[in-house]
Structure 1
Amino acid sequence: MGTIEIERGMVKYITSDGEIYYVKQHFPPSIPPVTERTSQKLLVPERFFSYGPIEKIVSLLGLGRCNVVTVKLAHEMHLTFEEFEMLQEMVGPEFYFSRAAYQYTPDTLPHKDPETAMGYQIVLDILVRNWDDGDRNMYMVSGIPVWFDFGASLDPRCQNVYRFLLKLQDAAEAGRVSSIELYFKNYSRRREKILEAAIEVFESITQSEIRTIVQVSEDEFSGFFADYLVNNISQISEDVDIIRGAFLSQKTADKGRIFYEPILKQTFWRQIK
């Protein structure tokens, strides 16, 4: 049996082992009505918000590869009937759990070097099209970043890498600067090597692992998201190149140092028709 607390308006669940999870209301996406005309098509909602299966998919993809928090569905927490009822009253009829990032320690993270951690994270974020991975969804543990809140990921509208690029730039203009943009801001040969290593790691993800992840995450559109991820993994190297080229164009190279300048986003409008 655990303990339920409220912290700054957010509900926390503390397990008997001392693990702290934030309890988030689960909002299933609205499903468009199926008509005779659309019955042969897979209908996928375009917008996700606080959606447990999506966050769990991203968390599992990053497990052991990135500094990301653990996400659990309600049935994985072994709640008592009383705890379940209390959380329903406090949070909502459906909910899921996201581990507190501040509980992690350097020895529990895959990457202890901040630059390496960010490099691996942005490859994951490009893979799942997570544009909201900036400092609002990051916690520093002894100077090492840990990411949480992956609800902006896997939006069907952003599977096109050029649409994702425009979303990144629109979000930055609204004050939510992505870690992706920050990583390329001071790009270097070391960061390039980190990206190359990270790309190899994510390219090695098998279709069997993807199938298991989407099944465990219990998403009703598991087939769609499995295809989404398999497709993005197959072209992750190309997508990283496109995103890198969007923020940086090589200007000069002198004595081993590389200098870049941004490319205007208008360049990419023709790619998203």
Structure 2
Amino acid sequence: MTILVTGATANIGRMVVDQLLARGATDVRALTINPGKAALPDGVQVAKGHLGRPESLAAAFEGVDRMYLAPSPGTVGEVLAAARAAGVRHVVDLSGEPESWWGSVCNAVEGSGLDWTHLWPADFMENTLTWSQQIRESGVIREPNPDTASAPIAMNDIAAVAATALLTDGHVGRAHALAGPEILTRADLVAHLADALDRDITFRTSTRAETITALEPAMGDNTTWYVDNVLLDFAPPPQSLPTTSVEDITGHPATTFGHWARANAARFLAD
């Protein structure tokens, strides 16, 4: 049974490869646009191609039974049609609720005729890395809503769920809402980072314009969209948010933000 991991050199896709290998998978194929620079583990088949160019995927799909699908809203329909034609049976996709900005991926997967498992993640803990420059330069994080709360999840926990869904039964036709083990405000996240980095970091409530200016060096052209659609138009999660989902599926507790921050402290301080 060959398992194809798309986006295999991106953050989550690369972790999916590692999680599959850690669980004993021996027939893993990794899709990447540049095999020569992929630096994937020994034993992993490397296929050249890109989800944005469905015509490049024929060789990658050959002999594949299951696949992890990284989000590619613009071409997802063509990718899934090619996968089905090649004999792929089961897709584990990273997407979001039908009404979310990744909902088009979810809807396309359900309409493809393939068996499916959706992974619907909460905020990524790694998104706080957009604060790195502010932490290094001023120790002040500028955002509009200190009390906005969520249950952020580590990307590696998402990858662990993806690998579990690819290798074990009982996940077909299920949408796994994935969240971390605790609900934290934006100010809570800053406090955890201050503790992990052992330095003073404060949260300063800022206007939309101030927030865009502060984040733009790190986020570039995506900054305005992120501020308007995530920071200013964020719906707090309900109290029923399934913060035990990672442990329920994988058998291992989800990573706490405090643990993740300590493990990744050097990433916030590196230029």
> After TM superposition, is the score higher than 0.5?
no
What TM-score does the superposition give when structure 1 sets the normalisation length? 0.25
